[in-house]
Amino acid sequence: MLSKVLHCSTLILGCGNPLFGDDGFGPAVIDHLLSHYTLPDPVAAVDVGTGMGSFLVDLLLFPQKPRRIFILDAVSDSDRRPGEIFELPLSSLTGKDTTVITLHEFPSAQVLQELEQQAGVKVHILVVQAQSIPKEVSPGLSPPVLEAVSQASLWLYRQVEEEP
């Protein structure tokens, strides 16, 4: 798998912790995507759990970078309805209000910005509005977020199916 990640043109990263309710959206999408679709050869999909920060820092050090990165996560502080999927611009992570998305407490905004501006990687952040991200262990996605998993998978597949 590492070899595929090192040589892919598109990288899909699911972050989150399935033990904390809707926070498991990213890993659930990766699982659904890999079990329901055949991704083109230059595309890799990886469940990075809560290790997004170290993964991106490592990626920054790789000599060859992907052309595109899709990041999947859940947000709990937006004006959207639970289960609604939307793209966040990278600039929303670098502004004053970073409570909308944390990407699991890492210096992601700077690393993502560096990947985009200095390495030419196009970064897409696809999120779902969570219904609940509990403070204590409570596995399982809420019904609206569970429904969003297949929608996000289909959207991602359509983005990469004609990968050059």
- CATH assignment at residue 31: 3.40.50.1450
Cβ-count burial 42-58 (b if 16+ within 10 Å, e if not): bbbbbbbbbebbebbee
Map residue 156 onto helix, strand or coil: helix
Percent of the chain at pLDDT exceeding 90? 59
Q: What would the pLDDT profile of 25-44 be if each residue is shown by its tens digit?
A: 999 999 999 999 999 988 99
Instruction: Check pLDDT > 70 for residue 17.
Output: yes
- Polymer length in residues for the chain: 164
> How would you class 143 by CB atoms within 10 Å of its CB: exposed for 0-12, middle for 13-18, buried for 19 or more?
exposed
Q: Which of 45-54, 92-101, 115-124, 141-150 has the highest mean pLDDT?
A: 141-150
Q: What is the pLDDT of residue 83?
A: 97
Segment holding 147, helix H or strand E: helix 143-160
Q: What is the pLDDT of residue 64?
A: 87
Span of 47-51, 53-57, 79-83, 97-101 with lowest mean pLDDT: 97-101
Q: DSSP per residue over 94-113, as a string?
A: HSS--SS--TTTSSHHHHHH
Instruction: Check pLDDT > 70 for residue 164.
Output: no
Q: What is the pLDDT of residue 59?
A: 85
Q: What is the pLDDT of residue 1?
A: 58
Q: What is the mean pLDDT of the chain?
A: 87
Query: The tokens of 18 are what?
Result: 């399935």
> How would you class 40 by CB atoms within 10 Å of its CB: exposed for 0-12, middle for 13-18, buried for 19 or more?
middle
Expressed as residue numbers, the domain containing 34 is 2-160
State the total domains in the chain. 1
Q: What is the pLDDT of residue 100?
A: 43
